[in-house]
Amino acid sequence: MNILNILSEIEKVDEDIYDRLSPRRRIMKDFYNAGRKISLAALPLALSSMFTKAYGQSGNRSVNDVLNFALTLEYLEFHFYNHTVVGKDPASSVKDVTFNFPSAAALQAITTIRDHEKAHVDFLKAVLGSAARPELAYTNFDFRAGGTYNANNSYNSGGTFADVYTNYATFLKVATAFEDTGVRAYKGQAGFLKGNQVVLTAALQIHAVEARHASHLRQMAAGAGLTIKPWITYTANGNDTGVAPADAVYAGEQNTTQATVPITNIAAGVTQAAAAESFDEPLATANVVTIANLFLKPAFRL
Amino acid sequence: MKSEQANLTTAGSGKEGYNRRKFLSALGLGTAGAAVLSSCGHNDWYDQFRDGNKNGGATLDFKDDIGILNYAYALEQLEAAFYTEVVAKSSSVFSASQNAFFNDIKLHEIAHREFFKKALGSNAIGNLEVDFSSVNFSSKDSVLATAKAFEDLGVAAYNGAGYKIMTEAYLVIAGQIVSVEARHAAWIRDQISNGSFSDLNSLTALGADNSKGLDAALPPSKVLPIAATYIKTKIDVKNVF
């Protein structure tokens, strides 16, 4: 295989190939430098990554776009947990959370998670400064996903998760879906922050906290009767929670090939389940928006 | 390009902390050596050892993505070897469900290790020889404490190196792995003390900031000396950050 011939063939049909590969020529420089040492065995991966980058991604997002997107998700998570910890919309006198936490530990765990989401909101707002998106209040959300509300923003009826505040198990299902969505969402934005020491590092740090939350919530959900592990295991459609309305949250998690390398049976004992569990999957912006919009009232959708 | 090199082999001492003195200790230096070196700049004290040990061992050159992927490969080798030992030796001190999850984690780390080995091809470093003599595999507490240290360190390592990864596909892969390590860390922490899954205050030394809700993040110059406690193979480090 002669890489230079391949590039020159592509150039015949796409004269912008070198710019596509890297507007700043960085990748080509890296490639030529690395080419002296990269073995033929390693080349397929190097090549596939290079072309994925060149052709796989359309458009770009500014750092502020990414951070405001993250801020929206953090508002969503914060208000969701805060509502259950407080027992009601803090601005309302009506207590509408009727389930009881089964233990002090369970309430404490949700409080810990709530506090982290608040810290993320405050941190992202501080980083964005005047570029921060408008604040989102609890009443801007519809955590029952499709419920109806009266003029005073009090819940009437309906929604995919109509019993989210009356049934502890439903609450845990939605919470688990939120955390797993958060983990996927940050991963999906990482590429836009490539090379940015401050912002990418902070995003990765938040991302890992969301993953810790997801792991714990999955344990709590298991305790409440779901057959679920701290890590996302293989199922045909990626959704290992058994909560059908959450299918979109997990679509793609069934993937067991990473950067062209098949993971199943990569070593003795690495089953399809282990292969899917060992790598979490990113989620593209548009898919995250679709999920988030289910929980935002129409006027506030992304 | 500036070349730096260090022998990260330990002298079989106990666990290393995160400060500079202990780093130097992890490099096999005595206190006297550390005192002399404390006046040197960061690169200088690496240079002191650049010709110190060139026989055998592995080289991690952080000048490009291959170096960073090899760094991840080294850490995954360590984790995979550890959980292989746990599954082989520690099942009697854990419950059936705990053993099932330890087996899951073992397979995840093996999958990570083998992925890097395949992805790197002939650029991959060799197999590292591990040293778990400080771990008591018959002790639940010892196994859990070591597992917690490995998982939290793994999270810190990926988070701290991510911004240096220049190929987007590799950056996303690193993200795909680090969240699984964080899931492990949370589960293991909950086995030690339920509810400690994301106790960021306990991770301050690894770069976490609870007030901002930020998890651990450390550069390889701080991760490797900690990991070196468990690695026998000499690791030469170049262009470390």
Summarised one tens digit per residue, pLDDT across range B142-175 is 999 999 999 999 999 999 999 999 999 999 999 9
> For residue A149, what is the DSSP state?
E
Between chains, do B163 and A196 touch, taking CB under 8 Å as contact?
A: yes
pLDDT in the model for residue B220: 98
A25 touches chain B (CB under 8 A): no
Q: What is the pLDDT of residue A93?
A: 86
CA B71 to chain centre: 9
CB B146 within 8 A of CB B95: no
Q: What is the mean pLDDT of each run of 10 residues along chain A (302 residues)?
A: 48 51 47 45 46 46 96 98 93 91 97 98 97 97 96 92 97 98 97 96 98 98 96 98 97 97 98 98 97 97 96
Residues of A numbered 111-130 whose beta carbons fall under 8 angstroms of chain B's beta carbons: which are they? 112-113, 115-120, 122-123
Q: Name the nearest CA neighbour of A301 among A64, A76, A125, A67.
A: A76
User: How many of the other CB atoms lie within 10 Å of CB of A128?
Assistant: 16
Determine the distance in angstroms separating the CA of B10 from the nearest CA of chain A, rounded to an integer. Answer: 29
Q: Reduced to 3 states, what is the DSSP secondary structure of residue B165?
A: coil
d(CA A231, CA A43): 32
Check if A237 contacts B (Cβ < 8 Å): no
Residues in contact with A252: Cβ distance below 8 Å, sequence separation at least 6, in sequence order? A238, A281, A283
A172 touches chain B (CB under 8 A): no
CB contact (8 A) between residue B170 and residue A49: yes
Kind and range of the H or E element at A81? helix A63-86
pLDDT at residue B50 tops 50: no
Chain B residue with Cα closest to A256: B111
Helix axes A43-55, A26-35, angle to 10 degrees: 170
Among B167, B172, B70, smallest CA distance to B120 is for: B70
* pLDDT at residue B19 greater than cutoff 70: no
User: Nearest-CA distance from B163 to chain A in Å?
Assistant: 5
State percent of chain B over pLDDT 70. 77
Beta-bridge mates of residue B237: B60
Please give the pLDDT value at position B34: 29
Give the mean pLDDT of chain B.
Answer: 83
Nearest to A279 among B110, B180, B211 (CB): B180
Structure-token pair, residue B122: 């002939």
**What is the C-alpha to C-alpha distance for residues A74 and A288, in angstroms, rounded to an integer?**
13
Check residue A59 and give its pLDDT: 53
b/e for A194-212, b at 16 or more Cβ within 10 A?
A: beeeebbbbbbbbbbbbbb
In this complex, the residue of A120, A200, A213 whose CB is nearest that of residue B163 is A200
Contacts of B113 (CB under 8 A, 6+ apart): A267, B73, B76, B77, B79, B80
| Residues A260-288: tens digit of each pLDDT | 999 999 999 999 999 999 999 999 999 99
- Tell me the residues of chain A between 38 and 77 that have a Cβ less than 8 Å away from chain B: 38-39, 41-42, 45, 48-50, 52-53, 57
Is there a contact between B180 and A277 if contact means CB atoms under 8 Å apart?
yes
**Contact status, residue B70 vs residue B119, Cβ threshold 8 Å:** no
- Mean pLDDT across the stretch B10-28? 36
Most A CBs within 10 Å, among B77, B164, B197, B204, to test the A interface: B197
Contacts of A206 in chain B (CB under 8 A): 213-215
- SS3 call for A250: helix
Nearest to A204 among B109, B159, B187 (CB): B159
- Contacting residues for B216 by C-beta, under 8 A, at least 6 apart: A205, A208, B152, B153, B155, B156, B159, B160, B203, B206, B207, B208
How many whole angstroms separate alpha carbon A240 and alpha carbon A170?
A: 16
ipTM associated with this complex:
0.83
A69-124 pLDDT tens trace = 999 999 999 999 999 999 998 888 889 999 999 999 999 999 999 999 999 999 99
End-to-end Cα, chain B, rounded Å: 13
